[in-house]
Amino acid sequence: MPGADNELSHSTWFRALQMWGLEAALRAAGLYHRGRRNALDMRLAGMDLPLPRLPAALDGLRVLHVSDLHLGRSLPGFAENARCLLDGVETDLCLLTGDYRYGHFGPSDRAADDVCRVLSGVRSAAGVHAVLGNHDTLIIGEMLEARGIRVLMNEGTMAAPRGEPLWLAGVDDPHLHRAADLAAALEGRPPGLFTILLAHSPECVAEAARAGVDLYLCGHTHGGQIRLPFLGGVHINVREGRRKALGIWREGDMRGHTSPGLGTTDMPVRFLCPPEATLLTLRAAPAAG
């Protein structure tokens, strides 16, 4: 947007008008401050995820999935709340699916330090791996890598949690920048190796299922961030549609998890959609008949 120079600037004038109107409506209804409190009421959800192609040796593997932190000035106390939520979590893999800064504009220099502060109490046996989102810049990726977080930019790597090899693939943002290259992320993968794909959004689902990905982790949607009873998210913002916009889903033998995210964007409020990080426990399960 012309003249945008800070993290609170909206991406377009149309988006700015939408958000100003929504904020005015929430304030008039006396709901704005409740929405801000909701945005700080974070949850750590735990769930079992059956996977038909999971090797028996990886049964019980714990994966901490964190997405859409959107760290910034919009919610004072947010980063500390997130740090406290995750403090003491023990996991086999910690996987991040993008959007580390709040806005589309403004400085990027503190995002990596804030991410590391949030994760400072997490104990991940096989390290922390990440992809970038549509709010992130290359410099954020470089700074995360300098701090020991492996950022997968259309590339893959072998990991061996519990001594059992698997392939971790990550693609660049498939939503706004449309820069995902799944073939590059799977290049060099040994045939038949269990594969986890990190993507910022669900737009690569069909291609990933055809390529033999076993678990697809993503975020971006915030679960709608503002949800209405019976109707769901007001604005999902993905081309893939609502079916894969929140929670656990399947595409053939591939399973996926779309995180509601911990942060907010455009407006620091949430309704009927608590901020959440997810501790997934992978379980071996027979393929569907």
Predicted local distance difference test score (pLDDT) of residue 1: 59
The answer on pLDDT for 287 being more than 80 is no
Number of domains forming the structure of the chain: 1
Residue 241 pLDDT class (50, 70, 90 cuts): low
Predicted local distance difference test score (pLDDT) of residue 288: 53
8 is a domain residue: no
- For 243-272, the three-class secondary structure string (H helix, E strand, C coil) is HHCCEEEEECCEEEEECCCCCCCCCCCCEC
Query: What is the model's pTM?
Result: 0.95
Question: For the residues 221-240, what does the mean pLDDT come to?
Answer: 83
H or E stretch at 114: helix 111-118
What is the token pair recorded at 33? 């401050």
CB 140 within 8 A of CB 108: yes
Check residues 9 and 107 and name the one with the higher pLDDT: 9
- Per residue in 16-53, pLDDT (tens digit) is 898 999 999 999 999 999 999 999 999 999 999 999 99
**Shortest CA distance to 66 belongs to which of 160, 157, 131?**
131
Residue 108 pLDDT class (50, 70, 90 cuts): confident
CB 221 within 8 A of CB 270: no
SS3 106: coil
Distance CA 268, CA 149 (A): 27
289 is a domain residue: no
Which residues are CB-neighbours of 182 under 8 A, at least 6 positions away? Answer: 169, 171, 197, 204, 207, 208, 211
The answer on pLDDT for 118 being more than 70 is yes
Question: For the residues 61-89, what does the mean pLDDT come to?
Answer: 94
Beta partners for residue 218, in sequence order: 258
The answer on pLDDT for 79 being more than 90 is yes
1 is a domain residue: no
The answer on pLDDT for 234 being more than 80 is no
Predicted local distance difference test score (pLDDT) of residue 2: 57
- Per residue in 83-100, pLDDT (tens digit) is 999 999 999 999 999 999
Q: Domain containing 181: what range? A: 13-284
6 is a domain residue: no
4 is a domain residue: no
Question: For the residues 240-247, what does the mean pLDDT come to?
Answer: 83
260 is a domain residue: yes
Could you tell me the CATH number of the domain that includes residue 162?
3.60.21.10
Residue 231 pLDDT class (50, 70, 90 cuts): confident
2 is a domain residue: no
**Shortest CA distance to 217 belongs to which of 93, 71, 31, 115?**
93
211 is a domain residue: yes
Secondary structure E strands in the chain: 43-51, 62-66, 90-91, 93-97, 123-124, 128-131, 150-151, 155-159, 166-170, 195-198, 215-218, 227-228, 232-233, 247-251, 254-258, 276-284
Order of strands, sheet of 93-97, starting from the edge strand that comes earlier in the sequence? 43-51, 276-284, 62-66, 93-97, 128-131, 150-151
Predicted local distance difference test score (pLDDT) of residue 289: 46
Predicted local distance difference test score (pLDDT) of residue 152: 98
Mean pLDDT, all residues of the chain: 92
Percent of the chain with pLDDT over 70: 97
Question: For the residues 105-131, what does the mean pLDDT come to?
Answer: 93
Which residues are CB-neighbours of 14 under 8 A, at least 6 positions away? Answer: none
The answer on pLDDT for 250 being more than 50 is yes
What secondary structure does DSSP assign to 131-183, as a single string? E--TT--HHHHHHHHHTTPEE-SSEEEEE-GGG--EEEEE---SSSS----HH
CB 70 within 8 A of CB 267: no
